Amino acid sequence: MSDVTVAQFAEVLKVPVERLLVQLDEAGISVSGADAVISDDAKMELLTHLRKSHGHAEENSTGGAPKKITLKRRTQSEIRLASNQGRARTVNVEIRRKRTYVKRDELEKEARQQQEEVDRKRREEEESRLEKERLERAEQERVEQERRERELREQEAARLKAEEEAKAAEEARRQKEARKRETGERERATEDIRSWTKVAAEPERAPVDDKSTRYGRQELHVTSDISGRRKKKRPARRGGAVTVDSRHGFERPTAPVIRAVEIPESIKVSELAQRMAVKGGEVIKVLMKLGTMATINQVIDQDTATLVVEEMGHTPKAAQSGGLEAEILASVGVAGDLRPRPPVVTIMGHVDHGKTSLLDFIRSTKVAAGEAGGITQHIGAYRIETPNGQIAFLDTPGHEAFTAMRARGAKVTDIVVLVVAADDGVKPQTEEAIQHARAAGVPIVVAINKIDKSDADPERVRNELVQRGVVPEEWGGETLFVNVSARTGAGVDKLLESLLLQAELLDLKAPGEGPATGVVIESGLEKGRGAVATVLVTGGRLRQGDVLLAGQEYGRVRVMYDAAANPVKEAGASTPVVVLGLSGIPAAGDDAVVLPDERQARELSDLRKARTRDTKLAQQQSAKLEDVFSQLQSGVKSVQLLIKADVHGSAEALRDALAKLATSEIQVKVIGSSVGGITESDVNLAAASGATIIGFNVRADGAARDAIKATGVDVRYYSIIYQAIDDVRSAMTGMLAPEIRDQIVGLAEVRDVFRSPKFGSVAGCLVVDGYVKRSNPVRVLRDHVVIFEGELDSLRRFKDDVSEVRAGTECGIGVRNYSDVKVGDQIECFERVQVARSL
């Protein structure tokens, strides 16, 4: 290339001349100006310099390549335009283009870095915020914990104080009561008991002392609720200046008011709320927490109420049952000197060892038969005379009845006769009887029975009993042993002598005169006689015309009979008598007491009835829920039973015995037990609860029989307690082997009774259900209660003997050895069949 000037070179390089001059200067090439000639060497030098400076830039960049490249292009062109005057015009057009290229990964990296930076910052902020919150929370918790501890301490102090106060109040009350009684103001005393109850129910002042409140307040007046908004208190408009005690500010209560809440046997939810001075809704809420749904007007039992009161932080106090009752009963206390009284004896022992036979033998030989048909009647107890003294026997043998009585608080038995069959020895129920007698602290006299049998071995029985701690006197023990035979009567007199001997040791005494006290042994409803109760007089003297309160029933004693059906005018201690004239049927084990007038008897009767009603209701209501829950949760199988019996004693004995069969896997629930025939409502109840009905010496009436057919409820009839127990037990243990069972096949109603010289009494009957067969056994029912069991003597249609009579047909029925059939009775025909068990 020939020499060129700087200006020309700049044109080639397409850079401004000034810039080239600067670059040349930087490269250390001195030129005089734009017109100076630049040699090839100088050009090369400039190029090297420029490269060097570029390379330096390259070294700076991280990727070895520039991050950004900007390209510029400039093009020049000429456009010839034809003008309207025909002359052409030339226009110079220069187009400049500039484009910048940026490396993509660089950009992304940058964005990433920025993003990371933002994230990091955010994280840090978040962490510091959380840390701050955590610290704040910990602080709050600490403060809260301190506050709680402080409150607990204060509450505890307040509670202790409240208890002390309650005790003091109780003491004061007792003293007051004593004073009241002294003055003998009965009416006012009665009134007072009511008002005392009220006092206990009224809110007590918070027992908080100066030291226990933070602000030294002496009185708390705020409910456990946070008090609602109040209007600003205006200064009272009074004449004089008002001095405001600074201590009476609106401070938060420092401790809740703890009340001693008196709880009767049952209480309405609303009443309970009132006694704690809280809203009914709060009590309902607590009840719900405890798993009980209740309404404001519902009555809850004492146990539930106690839980609620405790849950709400108050102190429950069980009300002493019957203030009024105790008051009245105390005043009728038995007067008269203590006199010796005959012993009361219960016979116990294993099934089939001869308890009933022994009782029957003693009764038939020692009780003088009464006028009514020359028979003794079963009234649950009888009294015998021996040359050396009298003895009263309770004739519901077995420990079930004994225990049921004892469970009701009635301790009537003085001596237990333990019957053990000489050919069988000690059996499970023998052992149970020993335990029951021991638990009741009642001495035992052992009667080794059936010694008439060839395989009798009384010595073996003695040995077996010694092993159970029942040691004969002759072997150095304390127990009298007598060998007897209920069949032949051998040894029975000696047994009676031993009982009197044992009684002498016990030195039994009771008031001989004065108003009587007693215990109900048995009770039931009899047609034409109303409520009938056997009362064993335990002290004083019961007279015809006395006002008697028995359990929750009362009435004037209209008539009294003894076990031989002889009317009696009065009865002393240890005498069982049948009493007519009560307003209803008392329960076996109920106490009986003679009161001075009918008004008091009625009052107490009402009081007791109300109490039972409330308690029952309360228990039923909570039971229902419990049932649902327990069944849902546990999946435990249960056997439901509904018991109907002829007398109270049997119903109770059955209920207790059956309930005891429950195991951890199978529950036995007795949903009801009562006296009387099986009614439609019983069947419906059983159907609704999936229960089996146990009929003990009772039957279903017409409507009930229809209901049984319609619902398919399982009804079992029994006349022996042990059979019922064994059946239920077997069913439970899965021993569902086929059994021989009485199956009722027909029922006839007695429409007429006539005398036949050949057959005695013949009942003109209509078969109303099933069929009556000549060859089948029968039972005679009166008011759905079994009164006789036997065989048919004759079965006739018109004048012909027939073997079977079907429903809807009339017939004449003669019952063998029974001539007391009455119009209205029913004759039940049954068959002994083998059936598969199910329960």
586-605 residues in contact with ligand GDP (CB under 6 A) are: none
Q: Which is nearer to ligand GDP, 397 or 649 (CB)?
A: 397
Q: Is 201 left (phi over 0), alpha (psi -120 to 50) or beta?
A: alpha
Q: Does 719 bind ligand GDP (CB under 6 A)?
A: no
DSSP 637-669: EEEEEEEEESSHHHHHHHHHHHHTT--SSEEEE
HEC-encoded secondary structure of 60-80 = HCCCCCCCEEEEEEEEEEEEE
484-543 residues in contact with ligand GDP (CB under 6 A) are: 485-487
Quick note: the x/- pattern for ligand GDP over 422-451, rule CB under 6 A, is ---------------------------xx-
Residues 690 and 712: beta-carbon distance below 8 Å: no
As measured in angstroms, the least distance from the Cβ of 449 to ligand GDP is: 5
As measured in angstroms, the least distance from the Cβ of 455 to ligand GDP is: 10
Quick note: the x/- pattern for ligand GDP over 643-682, rule CB under 6 A, is ----------------------------------------
Q: Which is nearer to ligand GDP, 20 or 725 (CB)?
A: 725
- The counts of H helices and E strands in the chain are 19, 38
Residues 515 and 595: beta-carbon distance below 8 Å: yes
Q: Which is nearer to ligand GDP, 418 or 785 (CB)?
A: 418
Quick note: the x/- pattern for ligand GDP over 300-339, rule CB under 6 A, is ----------------------------------------
Residues 350 and 424: beta-carbon distance below 8 Å: yes
Residue nearest ligand GDP, CB atom distance: 354
Distance CA 813, CA 751 (A): 11
* The only residue of 165, 282, 432, 452 in contact with ligand GDP, by rule CB under 6 A: 452
Q: Which is nearer to ligand GDP, 450 or 648 (CB)?
A: 450
Quick note: the x/- pattern for ligand GDP over 345-384, rule CB under 6 A, is ----x-xxxxxxx---------------------------
DSSP 30-54: ---STTSEE-HHHHHHHHHHHHHHH
Q: Which is nearer to ligand GDP, 285 or 453 (CB)?
A: 453
Q: Which is nearer to ligand GDP, 274 or 449 (CB)?
A: 449
Q: How far is CA 485 from CA 137, 283, 629, in A?
A: 87, 65, 54
As measured in angstroms, the least distance from the Cβ of 575 to ligand GDP is: 25
Distance CA 24, CA 43 (A): 9
Q: Which is nearer to ligand GDP, 201 or 417 (CB)?
A: 417
194-223 residues in contact with ligand GDP (CB under 6 A) are: none
Collapsed DSSP state (helix, strand, coil) of residue 294: coil
Read off the DSSP letter of residue 472: B
Q: Which is nearer to ligand GDP, 356 or 679 (CB)?
A: 356
Q: Which is nearer to ligand GDP, 268 or 355 (CB)?
A: 355
Quick note: the x/- pattern for ligand GDP over 96-135, rule CB under 6 A, is ----------------------------------------
* The only residue of 256, 342, 380, 397 in contact with ligand GDP, by rule CB under 6 A: 397
In sequence order, the β-bridge partners of residue 90 are 80
Residue type for 648, please? H
As measured in angstroms, the least distance from the Cβ of 398 to ligand GDP is: 8
Distance CA 341, CA 391 (A): 9
Q: Which is nearer to ligand GDP, 432 or 513 (CB)?
A: 432
As measured in angstroms, the least distance from the Cβ of 482 to ligand GDP is: 12
Q: Which stretch binds ligand GDP (CB under 6 A): 66-74, 174-182, 479-487, 491-499?
A: 479-487
As measured in angstroms, the least distance from the Cβ of 350 to ligand GDP is: 7
As measured in angstroms, the least distance from the Cβ of 485 to ligand GDP is: 4
> Tokens representing 624?
């229902």
Q: Which is nearer to ligand GDP, 352 or 810 (CB)?
A: 352
Residues 468 and 446: beta-carbon distance below 8 Å: no
Residue type for 312, please? M
Residues 569 and 560: beta-carbon distance below 8 Å: yes
As measured in angstroms, the least distance from the Cβ of 347 to ligand GDP is: 8
As measured in angstroms, the least distance from the Cβ of 728 to ligand GDP is: 18
| Closest C-alpha to 297, from 616, 628, 614, 609 | 614
As measured in angstroms, the least distance from the Cβ of 346 to ligand GDP is: 13
Residues 602 and 547: beta-carbon distance below 8 Å: no
Q: How far is CA 520 from CA 412, 587, 668, 673, in A?
A: 10, 7, 28, 18
**Sign of the Cα pseudo-torsion (721, 724, 728, 730, in order):** positive
Read off the DSSP letter of residue 568: -
Q: Which is nearer to ligand GDP, 282 or 452 (CB)?
A: 452
Report the length, in residues, of the chain: 839
Residues 6+ apart with CB under 8 A from 320: 326
As measured in angstroms, the least distance from the Cβ of 450 to ligand GDP is: 4
700 burial level (CB within 10 Å; 0-12, 13-18, 19+):
buried
Q: What are phi and psi of 496, to 5 degrees?
A: -65, -40
| Closest C-alpha to 613, from 552, 669, 524 | 552
As measured in angstroms, the least distance from the Cβ of 458 to ligand GDP is: 12
Q: What are phi and psi of 752, to 5 degrees?
A: -160, 150
Residues 255 and 150: beta-carbon distance below 8 Å: no
Q: Which is nearer to ligand GDP, 257 or 721 (CB)?
A: 721
Q: Which is nearer to ligand GDP, 356 or 386 (CB)?
A: 356
Q: Which is nearer to ligand GDP, 601 or 786 (CB)?
A: 786
* The only residue of 317, 339, 411, 453 in contact with ligand GDP, by rule CB under 6 A: 453
As measured in angstroms, the least distance from the Cβ of 726 to ligand GDP is: 12
As measured in angstroms, the least distance from the Cβ of 456 to ligand GDP is: 8
| Closest C-alpha to 593, from 631, 557, 639, 641 | 557
Q: How far is CA 200 from CA 167, 404, 421, in A?
A: 12, 35, 59
How many of the chain's residues bind ligand GDP (CB under 6 A)? 16
As measured in angstroms, the least distance from the Cβ of 445 to ligand GDP is: 16
Q: Which is nearer to ligand GDP, 37 or 351 (CB)?
A: 351
Q: Which is nearer to ligand GDP, 302 or 449 (CB)?
A: 449
Q: Which is nearer to ligand GDP, 355 or 462 (CB)?
A: 355
> Tokens representing 807?
């429903």
Pairing state between β 804-806 and 800-801: unpaired
Collapsed DSSP state (helix, strand, coil) of residue 5: strand
Q: Please give the sequence-ordered ranges of beta strands (E in DSSP) within 430-526, or none if there are none.
A: 444-449, 480-483, 509-511, 517-526
As measured in angstroms, the least distance from the Cβ of 310 to ligand GDP is: 49
Q: Which stretch binds ligand GDP (CB under 6 A): 88-96, 276-284, 482-490, 781-789?
A: 482-490
Quick note: the x/- pattern for ligand GDP over 230-259, rule CB under 6 A, is ------------------------------
Taking the alpha carbons at both ends of the chain, their separation in whole angstroms is: 129
As measured in angstroms, the least distance from the Cβ of 401 to ligand GDP is: 12
As measured in angstroms, the least distance from the Cβ of 296 to ligand GDP is: 53
**Sign of the Cα pseudo-torsion (192, 195, 197, 199, in order):** negative
Residues forming the site for ligand GDP (CB under 6 A) = 349, 351-357, 397, 449-450, 452-453, 485-487
